[in-house]
Amino acid sequence: MTPNVGTLDRTLRIIAGVAIVGWGVYAQNWLGAIGLVPLATGLLRWCPVYLPLKLNTGK
């Protein structure tokens, strides 16, 4: 897996993921688990959606 997520993109994904998970915990709502997706892609620096779109923000 070659990293395809850049620094700014990574930072925004991690912040959004933590915020969504935090909201889910606060609201006691299972939809907060959706925040794990941007959090994981930010931490791994790899987004599977970018592959077919041939996007790379890591340059």
Q: Determine the pLDDT at residue 58.
A: 86
What are the residue ranges of helices labelled H in 1-59? 7-27, 36-44, 50-53
Please tell me the total count of domains within the chain.
1
Q: What percent of the chain has pLDDT over 70?
A: 100
Give the residue numbers spanning the domain of 19: 7-44
* 55: in domain: no
Could you say which DSSP state residue 57 is in? -
* 31: in domain: yes
Q: What is the pTM of this model?
A: 0.91
pLDDT in tens, 37-59: 999 999 999 999 999 999 999 87
At 30, is the pLDDT very low, low, confident or very high (cuts 50, 70, 90)? very high
Distance CA 46, CA 40 (A): 9
Q: Determine the pLDDT at residue 46.
A: 96
The mean pLDDT of 22-49, rounded to a whole number, is 97
- Kindly report the backbone phi and psi dihedral angles of residue 49, in degrees, each rounded to the nearest multiple of 5, phi listed first: -70, -30
